[in-house]
Amino acid sequence: MLRHRARLGIILFASWLCFSGTANAYPTAWIFGTPNNSCGQATLPNVQYNCQRFKDGLTSKSWPAINIGFYMSESVQARMFTDISKVSYGQDIGFSDSVDVMLFNGHGVWFDFPTVDNYYFVMGGTANQCTVIMPNEVLWGSNTRVALMHTCQSLQREAYQSGTYDAIRTGNKFKVLNGYHGNAYDAKSNGDWLYKYARDSQTAGVGDNWVDYFTYTVGGNKKQCATSLVYAPVSEVNDIFHNRGLNDFSNSAFDGYSAYYQVCNCQPASAGSKLTC
């Protein structure tokens, strides 16, 4: 059920064209969560629950449990998300960039710099370093198609507009980055929505369901503003956002075009401007 129907692609005039996707008979996923960490950040009591619910949602359909990796707390390290072309210890090809879908749930923050903004997310362990920075250290697309960044400020509109996310992808495989404009909250309700998202989005709604399910008031005045970024030719971005799923993609060529999706007029409780349309 759609609760929010107002959407915006920041890059406008994307035409509608359905294209042929291919369901993967052996889909793969990595799930990373940092409920506890050695990096001095606050404990997040619901992360373990959230990640397990996402896994349960995947396996409730046809996703093989044996094809889902699960890393928690101090086992989550910077080498798993960084690319060897950007940092010397990068091993993302063996971890976050080795599967169809990657979920990260933990702390994150956006920095508004004068030129290109940065976003970093916090590891569970201190090996290599405590944070991974976009765009400086991340390069996805060797294998990964979808990255789900369930952290605060992981997909700020201002950062998109400044080009932060242009340099985190390579090749034609990486298609969708989902995250938040403003803060996301460590709420058990998010775990239940992660289950529904994983269950409902395997063959359609990879972007649409994310923006719809996770844009809501968590409690009191804590408004979450979920956002989605699609990398594809202008003729395909809307089809991917609405009609492709976690396990249903083609390797269409990327021509430098991307589209940012949001719920119009969502006002995050903190760390972000109102998402006007």
Please report, rounded to a whole number, the percentage of residues in the chain having pLDDT higher than 70.
Answer: 87
Average of pLDDT values for 6-21? 34
Q: Are strands 176-180 and 248-249 parallel, antiparallel or unpaired?
A: unpaired
Express each pLDDT in 80-123 by its tens digit. Answer: 999 999 999 999 999 999 999 999 999 999 988 766 788 999 99
Beta bridge partners of 227: 179
Q: What is the mean pLDDT of residues 258-275?
A: 91
Q: What is the pTM of this model?
A: 0.91
Do 211 and 205 form a contact (C-beta atoms < 8 A)? no
pLDDT of residue 218: 76
Q: Rounded CA gap, 151 and 260, in Å?
A: 18
pLDDT tens-digit profile of 163-180? 899 999 988 889 999 999
Q: What ranges in the chain are assigned the alpha helix state H?
A: 47-59, 157-162, 188-200, 208-214, 237-243
Q: State the Cα–Cα distance between residues 22 and 266, nearest whole angstrom.
A: 34
- 236 vs 193: CA distance, rounded Å: 27
Mean pLDDT of the chain: 87
- Rounded CA separation 75/31 (Å): 12
CA 215 to chain centre: 14
Measure the CA–CA gap between 119 and 151, rounded to whole angstroms. 10
pLDDT at 136: 94
Give me the pLDDT at residue 132, please.
96
pLDDT at 2: 41
pLDDT at 78 (0 to 100): 97
Nearest Cα neighbor of 35 from 26, 21, 45 is 45
Q: What pLDDT score does 130 carry?
A: 96
**Which whole number is the average pLDDT over 5-9?**
43
**Please, which pLDDT band fits residue 251 given cuts at 50, 70 and 90?**
low
**Which has more pLDDT, 48 or 172?**
48
Q: Provide mean pLDDT across the span 55-60.
A: 97
pLDDT of the residue at 1: 35
Q: Is the pLDDT of residue 256 over 90?
A: no
